[in-house]
Structure 1
Amino acid sequence: MNSKLLSILAIVAISIGLYGLLQSDEPETSSQAEASAPPPEVTYKVITLKVPLNRGDSITRSKLIIETWPESKANQMGIDSDMTLPEAGGSPLLAREGLVAGDILYPDKIVSPESPDYLDYVTRADRIPFPIKVSPTAVVGGAVRAGTLVDIMALASTDQNLANETTVRSFRGVSLSPVLIGVKVLKVDQQQKEATRSEPASTDTTLILELTRKQVATMTIAKRIAQLEVHKSFGNTPEQDMSANAGDVLEDYRAIKEFRADSAVIK
């Protein structure tokens, strides 16, 4: 009986020992497997051209290919992070120089709205970029973006300079008429102004227009004698349909423009 009990105890002891050995081997085997596993490959996104581009051509996603390159290959081409396109805010991105299909689109090959020379690329040779500062309420007809055609309207008075005053003292001689029709917006600049104790937060908006020299002269005068509004163009609207005076608003008002011996010309 004692011999049987001793045999059982011996078997149990051996089993416990073997279990302990197996348990101690498992972490070592696992750590060895982890040490032998290769690290994950580092890759970068690289932007290349699907089609050739000339200087000044617009860059759109349909003209690009996004490839995944291993780190070693990317580093050889001077790339050490994922490539992305700069934010354009609705304005077109342009090619700074001629490129062929397959070229890498490096950041210095892109002209964005934030580039100092952006207007040099988007302005035609016979045109001049002209800035006009407008309030959000002075833009009529929907959102205005780069490439939008707009009409510049002038609210003027023969009795006062509305460019320097926000209140119309007398409706005599007040009129609204187009100054320029169908001019192109090259760029929209917006700057946020923080709220102060006396004024709420606001946004300053400046439109860069593409004008001829004659149009620049006209706008220079208009800015100094009238309140200007920007209306989104909607095709060939007759000029008379874009003009109005106080008589169009006040039914009983008739502004005497000129006296003659036998008549009076009114509007």
Structure 2
Amino acid sequence: MDPRPEIDTTVPHSARVWNFLLGGTDNFPVDRQAGEQVFQSFPGMVDMARRSRQMLTRVVRFLAAEAGIRQFLDIGTGLPTMDNTHEVAQRITPGARIVYVDNDPLVLVHARSLLTSSPEGATDYIEADVRDPGPILAGAARTLDFEEPVGLMLMGILGLVQDYDQARDIVRRLVEPLTSGSYVAVYDGTNDDPAYMRAIEAFNSGSGAVPYTPRSPGQIARYLDGLDVLPPGVVSVTRWRPDPGPDGEVPPVACAGGVARKP
């Protein structure tokens, strides 16, 4: 790969906007401007971003510690932050193997330096687009053994596919080669909060970034058709097996997800 991929700093990118909302610094003025626009019209966006990230951590912890998953394919990984998939998994299973996928060249730059593996395990990065599963699966096969169960992570990425039927077909194509006992984890923004929807509509029309399409919890649940959905089902990310806390139950946010096992 070219060690210095071209990075367009004139157009916001979802990975960098998300990094800004999470409090990161790996973003450009255009990303911060887009993130601020969303935040001004929907202040709950920062909390939603952080709650979503916390669900990812809980999912990986569950898959590695309880489900026995030793391989992860994380598509739409975004920029490295705290508790990336490989860090959570390899704390539990040092030999875990993780493949990250994203299409922002800046993520590639950071992946090389930050997404380092434990000595016992392996980590790889693929620059690819979720809309084209073929190269993702072919590239992942260099690191992952598809004859063994895999944890497929599709966290906040399917909303970037505007056509719903295409998004469902992408999930089907990604799940098809996975062996029985594999798991699929998804979350995406939901269309049941008017303030969030207004913010996203403004972002889509004014930022120049790839549009994001929130969907209903029922539509998100249909990504998992044909799989065995784990309790509590597809719910707000704050309600998916939350860690006990001193303040009790955390209110729901406009983002829903769930985890399912391939029979």
TM-score class normalised by the smaller sequence: under 0.3
TM-score normalised to structure 1 length: 0.20
Which structure ranks higher in relative contact order (CA pairs < 8 Å, sequence separation ≥ 6)?
2
Bigger Rg over Cα? 1
TM-score normalised to structure 2 length: 0.20
Which protein has the bigger strand share?
1
Which protein has the bigger helix share?
2
